[in-house]
Amino acid sequence: MTGPPRPRRTYRPYRRNGTYRRRPHHRIRAWRAGRGDSLRTRLTLVNVLLLALGITIATGVSLFGLRHYLLGSIDAELTGSRQGFQRTGITVKQMESLSALAAVRDILAPGASGASTLPKPDTVFVAVDGSGRVLSLIGIPPSERQRALAAAVEDPVAAARHDTARDVDVDGEPYRMTAAQLRDGSVVLLAKSTKTVHKSLQRALKLDLASGTLLLVLLAMITLMGASRTLRPLEDMVETASAIAEGDLTRRTPGRHDSVAETEQLRLALNSMLQQVESAHMTRERSAAQLRRFVADASHELRTPLAAIRGYLHLYDRGMLRGAAERERAMARMNAEADRMGRLVDELLTLARLDQRPELRLRPVDLSRLVRDAADDLRAQQPDRTVEVAANGTMLVRGDESGLRQVIGNLLTNVRVHTPVAAPVAVELTRSEGGEVRLRIADRGPGMEGADADRIFDRFFRVTGGSGAGGSRAAGEGGSGAGGAGEGTAGTGGSGLGMSIVQAVVASHGGEVAVETAPGAGLAVTVTLPLPRSSPRP
C-alpha cells in the first residue's frame, strides 16, 4: 500500500558565472550509486577476508594435527612390532618352524585358501636378505605386494638402522614402513597402508571447506545488514547535506534509536553546524536588508537638508531675496539645515566606529557625577520640568567617560525633545547585589505601543504619536557631547539614531539596555553596566 505522493520541494538556485542554476543533487546520488567501493562493501570484504584467513589457518592446523595423530598411531604399531622382533632375536629359520601359529600363516599367505577374493590387507610383511632378495617363509612364495615393498626399499640394512617409520610408495599406494634386522642378518620389512588416513583427511578438508563457505556467506550477509543499519545515519547526513546544498537550510539529520555513539556525536555536531549556518545565513540576509534600509534612510535624511539649502541658494541666485530680513531668514535656515546635516553625519560616523568595535579607553568613571551633570543641564534648558535624581555618593564603573556621557545625554535629550514639559522625569542610579550598576530614566509621558517599542533601537526608526525616551517623532534624538548637546526641538524631531548609539555604546561596555513602556504609562529605559573588574564584550 503506497501513501500519497510527496510534494515536490522547490530549492533556491545558486549563482555561478553570473547565471542562476540548480544545484546538481542528482549528480551526488548518481555518483554514490555508481561507486562500488562503498564503506559497507569494504567492511564486508574485510570481514570476509579475515574470516577466510582464520578458517584457512584453523583448517590447516586441524588437518595437520589429525594427520599427525593418525600417522602417530600407525607408527606406534609398526614400532611395537619392530621392537618385538629385536627383543626376541628370532631368525628366519625359527620363524619357519613356527608354522603352528595360524595368525602368522594368515599374514604370510594372504592369497591361500581362496583369500585372493578378499580385500587387500593394509599390512605387508616381508623378509629379505642382506642383498635385498625376498625370502620365502613356510614354503609360501612372496606375493606381488611383498615384492613391491621389497623393491621400494633400496637398502634394507640401512633402513633397519633407523628407529622411526618413513613413507614409501607400494604399488601406487602410500605406506608407512619400518625395518628390523634379525639375528641371522636378514631384514624384516613391516609396512602399513595410510590410504585410510588420506581419505580421512580429504573428508575433513571437504567438511571444513563446506562449513567455512557457509560461515563466510552468513558473515557477508550479516555484515551487509549490520553495516547498512550502522551506516544509515551517514546516509541521512548525505541526504541532509545535499538538501542544504540545494538551498533547503531548514533540513536537519534525524536521530535514530539504534545509532552508535560516534555517529550520534557526528549527527549532533552536524546539526549544530547546520544551525549555525542557517543562523549566519539569516543574519547575513537580515544585515543586508538592514544595510539597504539604512542606506535608503540615510540618503533620505541627508536629502532633506540638502534640498532646503539648495532651494534657498537657488532663490538667492535668482535675486528673489531682496529684503535683508528675507536674506537673514534664509541664511538662518541654511545654517540650521547644515547643523542638522552635520549632526546626522556625526551620528553616522559614531555608529560606524562602534560597529568596528574599537578599543575603548577604559578607566574608573564616577557615573553619579555624570548623571547629576546631565540632570543639571536638563533643568537649565527646561526650568519648568520636574527632574528627580537619585544618584547620591560615588558610583564607580570602568568605562569610557565620553561614551557614557553620550548615553546619558541622549536619553535625557530625548525626554526633553519628545515629551511635554509638564511630564516629570526620574533618574535613578543603583547597584545590584551582584555588583552591577543600573541607570534608570523614566518619564510620565504618553508612552509607546509595544510594536514601536520593539523597534526603538532600529536606526532611523520613527513613530508618530506617543512619547518617552524613545521619542514621539524619532526613536532617539541623538544628542552628542556632554549632557546631550544635540539641539533638537519638538518641532524638528530627531534623526532616529540616538537610541541606536545608546545601545551600541552600552554593548561596547559589556552592558545591556532594556525598555519598559505602555500607552499612557510613559517610558522607562534601564541601562545595566557590569562590574568594574569585568572586561567589556568583544
* SS3 of 103-164: HHHHHHCCCCCCHHHCCCCCEEEEEECCCCCEECECCECCCHHHHHHHHHCCCHHHHHCCCC
CA distances from 195 to 150, 164, 175 (A): 19, 19, 8
Each residue's pLDDT expressed in tens, for the chain with a length of 538 residues? 444 444 444 444 444 444 444 444 444 554 455 455 677 788 888 888 998 999 999 999 999 998 888 888 888 888 888 888 777 777 777 766 654 454 444 544 554 444 433 334 678 878 887 677 877 776 677 888 888 888 888 788 888 888 888 888 888 888 888 888 887 778 888 888 888 888 889 999 999 999 989 999 998 898 888 887 877 887 788 888 888 888 788 888 887 776 778 778 888 888 888 888 888 888 888 878 877 776 776 776 677 788 888 888 888 888 888 788 888 888 888 888 888 777 777 767 766 666 656 666 778 888 888 888 888 888 888 888 888 888 877 888 888 888 888 888 888 888 888 888 888 999 988 888 777 888 889 888 888 887 777 777 776 666 654 444 444 434 444 443 333 333 333 334 556 677 877 888 888 888 888 888 888 788 888 888 886 554 444 3
Kindly state the DSSP code that residue 12 receives in the 8-state scheme: -
Q: Specify the length of the chain in residues.
A: 538
Angle ∠(31,12,30) on CA atoms, nearest 5: 10
The yes or no reply on domain 360-529 and CATH 3.30.70.2860 is no
Q: Would the CATH topology of 260-356 be identical to that of 360-529? A: no
CA distance 494 to 199: 108
CB proximity list for 147: less than 8 A, separation 6 or greater = 126, 134
Nearest to 406 by CA among 484, 486, 499: 484
Q: Which residues make Cβ contacts (< 8 Å) with residue 206, sequence separation at least 6?
A: none
CATH architecture of 89-193: 2-Layer Sandwich (3.30)
CATH of domain 260-356: 1.10.287.130
* The residue type at 501: I
Contacts of 388 (CB under 8 A, 6+ apart): 424, 425, 426, 427
Strands 14-16 and 19-21: antiparallel
**pLDDT at residue 61 in the model:** 92
Question: What is the pTM (predicted TM-score) of this model?
Answer: 0.44
Fill in the amino acid letter for 234. L
Helix 324-355, helix 261-317: angle, nearest 10:
170
Cα–Cα–Cα angle for 220, 221, 223, rounded to 5 degrees:
65
Q: 89 CB contacts (<8 Å, ≥6 apart)?
A: 182, 183
E strands present in 303-409: 363-366, 387-390, 396-399
Specify whether the CB–CB gap between 342 and 481 falls below 8 A: no
Where are the domains positioned within the chain? 24-88+196-254, 89-193, 260-356, 360-529
Distance of CA 501 to the CA centre of its chain: 40
Contact at 8 Å (CB) between 240 and 275? no
Start-to-end C-alpha separation, the chain: 58
